């Protein structure tokens, strides 16, 4: 993969390009540059094999948990296994998230008219997300680890999100951004860090970053097109829901799951040190949501009087970090 693949994000419309032309362009790009889970990853290559004790899986000091004395005092094999567990847990969460995303997109597409540019693009995205789920699950299978399924309470919540794809697509697409932006941000930071990354992890990240650029572009442009015309009560629902939604999604994407904490008996004091009381982690969370906050400000879904709602979710003052 060329380095240009990581920066060609098609995030803005070309000069004079209409929304429909943008969506058509994204569809064409999905045909010209796409990846298949079992064609574009050399799963059986020797360098791609997963050893749970591989030191490349160890967490570095840039990771909240990796900088704690508790983690550094563990045996090397345990540090590596915890790091691999974090990767596997994130991929399992990705499988669940993209399951919800695909179902919601199909709900969204169900009411689109004939000759809709959105219909074609949405189906391209569903296909790409299906391949992402396949590669995530294959990595999990080959890791030898068994991440826990999503708690039943959250599983029930996903059904509500799926329905929003048809009933309230603006809320659904903010859910998409809330899930995709933090993981996209974290993956880009990892690749740019210069850290020695396991080649299979790196390949999965590269594919995901490249194709998610289109998905994020579509979600942003859809919201820019439709939110201004929403009735006031729907805009109010978005204003109230956004900080809660983004706070939950960022924590899920950027912190260890409860199951992982239990499995490795990570003390509550260590979690507080690594995440809750860690200024660097807080900056990472806010940085991962900066573009969503900027969009919310642009669409007047985030105003100065709403900042307290964002602070209550641990998201600080978005007017200070929105790019």
pLDDT computed for residue 15 by the predictor: 66
CA distance 199 to 86: 16
Alpha-carbon span 106 to 101, nearest angstrom: 9
Q: What is the SS3 assignment for 134?
A: helix
Tell me the backbone φ, ψ of residue 298, rounded to 5 degrees.
-60, -40
Is position 87 within any domain?
Answer: yes
Other C-beta atoms within 10 Å of 163: how many? 14
- Do the domain assignments include residue 100? yes
Residue 148: alpha-carbon gap to chain centroid: 19
Would you mind telling me the total number of residues written for the chain in this entry?
323
Q: For residues 202, 285, 148 and 71, what is the CA-based torsion angle, rounded to 10 degrees?
A: 80
- Do residues 315 and 255 lie in contact, with contact meaning Cβ atoms separated by under 8 Å? no
User: The domain containing residue 133 runs over which residues?
Assistant: 40-321
In a domain? residue 24? no
- Whether 86 is in a domain gets the answer yes
Q: How many CB atoms lie within 10 A of CB 277?
A: 12
How many angstroms separate the CA atoms of 137 and 263, rounded? 20
On the CB side of 56, CA atoms within 13 Å amount to 15
Residue 188 domain flag: yes
Alpha-carbon distances of 92 from 114, 206, 274, 285, rounded to whole Å: 36, 18, 22, 20
pLDDT for 8: 40
Distance CA 66, CA 196 (A): 15
pLDDT value for 56: 96
As a whole number of angstroms, the distance between CA 267 and CA 202 comes to: 30
Q: Is residue 30 part of a domain?
A: no
Q: pLDDT tens digits, the chain, 323 residues: what are they? A: 333 333 344 445 566 789 999 999 999 999 999 999 999 999 999 999 999 999 999 998 888 999 999 999 999 999 999 999 999 999 999 999 999 999 999 999 999 999 999 999 999 999 999 999 999 999 999 999 998 877 777 778 888 999 999 999 999 999 999 999 999 998 998 888 888 999 999 999 999 999 999 999 999 999 999 999 999 999 999 999 999 999 998 888 889 988 899 999 999 999 999 999 999 999 999 999 999 999 999 999 999 999 999 999 999 999 999 86
Number of domains in the chain: 1
CATH of the domain at 192: 1.10.620.20
Cα–Cα distance, 245 to 230 (Å, whole number): 19
So what's the pLDDT on residue 1? 38
Can you say how many angstroms the Cα of residue 186 is from the centroid of all Cα atoms in its chain?
A: 9
Q: Is residue 50 part of a domain?
A: yes
Which pLDDT score, from 0 to 100, does residue 86 have? 94
| Cβ–Cβ < 8 Å for 138, 47 | no
Cα–Cα dist 323/311, whole Å: 18
């Amino acid at each position: 993969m060329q380095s240009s693949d990581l920066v060609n994000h098609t995030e803005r419309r070309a000069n004079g390009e209409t929304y429909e032309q943008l969506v058509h362009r994204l569809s064409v790009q999905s045909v010209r540059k796409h990846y298949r889970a079992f064609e574009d990853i050399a799963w059986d290559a020797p360098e791609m094999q997963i050893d749970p004790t591989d030191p490349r899986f160890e967490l570095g000091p840039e990771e909240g948990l990796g900088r704690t004395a508790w983690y550094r005092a563990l045996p090397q094999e345990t540090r590596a296994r915890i790091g691999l567990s974090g990767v596997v847990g994130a991929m399992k969460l990705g499988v669940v998230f993209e399951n919800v995303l695909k179902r919601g997109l199909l709900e969204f597409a169900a009411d689109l008219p004939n000759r809709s540019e959105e219909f074609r693009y949405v189906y391209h995205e569903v296909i790409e997300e299906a391949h992402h789920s396949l590669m995530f699950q294959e990595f999990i299978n080959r890791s030898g680890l068994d991440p826990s399924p999503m708690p039943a309470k959250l599983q029930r919540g996903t059904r509500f999100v799926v329905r929003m794809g048809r009933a309230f697509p603006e809320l659904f697409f903010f859910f998409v951004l809330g899930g995709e932006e933090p993981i996209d941000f974290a993956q880009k930071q990892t690749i740019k860090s210069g850290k020695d990354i396991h080649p299979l992890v790196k390949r999965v990240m590269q594919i995901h970053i490249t194709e998610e650029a289109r998905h994020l572009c579509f979600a942003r442009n859809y919201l820019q097109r439709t939110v201004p015309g929403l009735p006031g009560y729907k805009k109010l629902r978005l204003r109230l829901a956004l900080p809660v939604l983004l706070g939950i999604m960022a924590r899920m994407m950027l912190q260890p799951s409860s199951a992982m904490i239990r499995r490795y008996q990570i003390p509550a004091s260590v979690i507080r040190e690594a995440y809750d009381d860690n200024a660097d982690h807080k900056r990472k969370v806010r940085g991962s949501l900066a573009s969503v906050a900027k969009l919310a400000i642009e669409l007047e879904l985030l105003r100065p009087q709403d900042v307290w709602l964002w602070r209550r979710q641990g998201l600080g003052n978005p007017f200070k970090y929105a790019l």
